[in-house]
Amino acid sequence: MKLQAIIEQDETGYYVAEVPALPGCVSQGKTAAEAKANIKEAIIGWLAVMNEKAKSRHAQLVEVMV
C-alpha cells in the first residue's frame, strides 16, 4: 500500500508527519528520517485500530480499488 505523508518542521525543530488520507494519523521525529520511520509505525497502528473498529460495529467490510 502506498500513502502520501506530509512532513514539516515545526517551530521547535521537530519534524511532524501526517497522512491526509488517514484522519488523525500523525507522528513526529527529531529528524525527517525519524519522522518518516515513525509515521510508518503510526500507519500500521491506525489501520489495525480501524480494522478492529469495523469488526466490532457489525459492519460489512469491503475492499475498494481506486
Q: Specify the pLDDT at position 4.
A: 97
Residue 43, in any domain of the structure: yes
Q: What integer pLDDT is reported at residue 35 of this predicted model?
A: 98
pLDDT at 61 over 80: no
Domain that holds residue 52: 6-56
How many beta carbons lie within 10 A of that of residue 48, not counting itself?
10
Decide: 4 and 18 in contact? Cβ < 8 Å.
no
pLDDT score of 62: 80
Is pLDDT above 80 for 57? no
- Rounded CA-CA distance 53/57 in Å is 6
Give the residues across from 17 on adjacent strands.
Answer: 7, 27
Mean pLDDT of 2-30: 97
What count of residues does the chain have?
66
6 confidence band (pLDDT: 50, 70, 90): very high
Asked whether residue 47 is domain-assigned, the answer is yes
The count of domains in the chain is 1
What residue type is assigned to position 39 of the chain? I
Chain position carrying cell 519534524 = 15
Asked if residue 65 is part of any domain, the answer here is no
